[in-house]
Structure 1
Amino acid sequence: MNPTTIKARFGMLISLSACLLLTACASSRPPQQLSLPPLPELPSEQGGWAAPPTANPSVKAPQQRITVLLPEPAAAPVAPAAPVPAPPLKPAAEPERAPAAPKAAAPVPSAKRQPVQEKPVKQAAQQQRLTLGQLVKKYPQLLLLRGSGSEKKAALTFDDAPDRNYTPKVLDILKKHGVQATFFLLGNQAEKYPDVVRRIVREGHVIGNHSYNHKLYTKLSDDLFRSQILQAQNSLKPLIGYSPRLLRPPYGEISESQLLWTKEQGYVVVNWNIDSLDWKQLSSSQVSSNILNHLSAGSIILQHSGGGPGQNLNGTVEALPHIIQTMKAQGYRLVTLPELLKVSKQL
């Protein structure tokens, strides 16, 4: 080995030893002993190499070793573990509470504080709604079906007029036999046939209000119910010269509250006690039988002199002469409703 290589290795060993000593001092762990190979022979001052001190040149001198204190090797780096989320802070401990007592049943609210459900209200209203018969029994002076039986009088009444077909024919028969009747007119029909309305008045017949366009009152709100009556009044008054007091509900149906309203307004609600059933388009013989077989003093007879589209009322027209003649023959006097009921025809 040449001197240059030896020097280089010697320098490296010195540097390595110094680094190891510094590391050992910096470490807190006790150092470990590390054996290094013997240092190579150093050159002498004369430039040669000093021979190892041995008595026998043929025997190699034992190599010298330098002991260097090294720190304990550091453990292999471990990948940092994923951060564990800190547990949520617990609120300050509350004093222990006694177990909650079982909840008592909620008190039932009073009727004033708790509105009644819609469905029971409707059911109650239906249960409380009075039938036509119950209304007549409860309000005999407000919902009239007949006149007094003290005199042999009867009244012919005709609904759903006027029209161009049946109303003039009925008027012709009444005029021929000298009979005055009562016509319950529809407001919208009166607007269509004002000349027929004027003829009814001119020939001495009485006119009553039968609504504006024949709506069933019991299916209407209070506002619509009143509108049906008032609108018909507005249509009739300019044609007949007065506001009719007599009122007949379509189909004869009316509720208790509506009946009470008519009383407040001064109307007289008049239905009937004899139904000819001519609206079923019966024959003249059937119409006659339905009337004459039930006739009595004070009777109010229902017939029609106008109808819906295509409705056949020929049975009424054909039966009317026979009915008038038979009633007169039996001693009945045919009068208008105001005369039979002793009420005014106008408000």
Structure 2
Amino acid sequence: MKANILRALLFTLILSLVSWGATKVHAQPEKPPQLAGGSENKERIRHPVSNIILQQRYPETVVLRGGQTENKVALTFDDGPDPRFTPKILDILKEHKIKATFFLMGARADAYPDLVKRIKAEGHIIGNHTYWHPNLVTQGDISTLQSEVTKTEIRLAELSGYRTKLFRAPYGFLYNELVEKLKEMNYSVIAWSVDSLDWHESPPEQISYNVLSNVHPGAIIIMHDGAAWDEDRTNTIKALRLIIPALKKQGVTFETVPELVKIPYKK
């Protein structure tokens, strides 16, 4: 009898351990993978080659805005997917029937594949934002760019069903040789013409003002659905609820970047 009881207890313990191990395997990380180059707040104070200058040097590769003859803009979001903020932003976009463009980190796509699939399923466009979000200018070598972009491209293709042709550099930081390599890799480099500056974590009204006071026909607007561990994008979410109705009231319509700029989004 005692032997049977001991065997039963041992069997129960083994089952518990197996179950616990399965839970650990499938559990999502407690925190999103960190930004290798540092938070937006710390890194954006640097001054690499201006995207305006890069666009003048490489007009077929670097994009700042769409055509300025129609009252259309594109909302773009960087640094996701982030389970703290991306779902709420997707909810708002769905509510307003708006399609946006998301520049995703490969490491976070690996950590939260269901969010990538949701972005794709709801009709948004996915772009490449490197794997670990390094500062490509301070890293200063072509091999880092190539490995970061290629690894992310492969993973995003597995989740979205296509190899994206759109790239945005972490912090928007590039220089000539990096742009030339991206061109060789068949990428369009997507910068922006309106910066929400939401990475300052200003009040929603300030973020909204940053956009609405600078918006123009053909604007590409940059916002963030992801953040470093100690940063918060709650005010970005609140600001969207101010920005979207205000722009709609002005007769502005929303498109994805490839629609706005009339370029392909996949290779």
TM-score (norm: length of structure 2):
0.80
Counterpart of 1:316, as a letter, is: T
Contact 2:49 2:174 in 1 (8 A): no
Equivalenced residue count is 219
1:16 maps to which residue? none
Counterpart of 2:111, as a letter, is: K
Q: Secondary structure at the match of 2:102?
A: strand
Please provide the CA RMSD for this pair. Answer: 1.2
* Residues in 1 aligned to 2:120 and 2:57: alpha-carbon distance in whole angstroms: 34
Selected match of 1:179 from 87, 98, 101: 98
2:224 maps to which residue? 304
Which of 1 and 2 has higher RCO (CA within 8 Å, sep 6+)?
2
TM-fit CA distance, 1:143 = 1.3
2:153 maps to which residue? 233
Alignment of 1:185-200 (within 5 A): 185-200=104-119
2:264 maps to which residue? 344
Alignment of 1:151-190 (within 5 A): 151-190=70-109
Q: Secondary structure at the match of 2:145?
A: helix
Selected match of 1:262 from 182, 185, 194: 182
1:203 maps to which residue? 122
Moved over 3 A (4+): 129-133
| Percent identity of equivalent pairs | 41
1:146 maps to which residue? 65
* Residues in 1 aligned to 2:178 and 2:243: alpha-carbon distance in whole angstroms: 34
* Residues in 1 aligned to 2:222 and 2:152: alpha-carbon distance in whole angstroms: 20
TM-fit CA distance, 1:137 = 2.2
Contact 2:79 2:225 in 1 (8 A): yes
Q: Secondary structure at the match of 1:316?
A: helix
TM-fit CA distance, 1:132 = 3.5
Is 2:179 the counterpart of 1:285?
no
Q: Secondary structure at the match of 2:259?
A: helix
* Residues in 1 aligned to 2:80 and 2:227: alpha-carbon distance in whole angstroms: 8
Residue by residue over 1:283-306, the C-alpha shift from the partner in whole angstroms, topping out at 9 and shown as x without a partner, is 100110000000110000000001
TM-score (norm: length of structure 1):
0.62
5+ long unaligned stretches in structure 1: 1-128
TM-fit CA distance, 1:257 = 1.1
TM-fit CA distance, 1:131 = 4.2
2:37 maps to which residue? none
Alignment of 1:1-347 (within 5 A): 130-220=49-139, 221-347=141-267
Structure (1 or 2) with the greater helix fraction:
2
TM-fit CA distance, 1:340 = 0.3
5+ long unaligned stretches in structure 2: 1-47
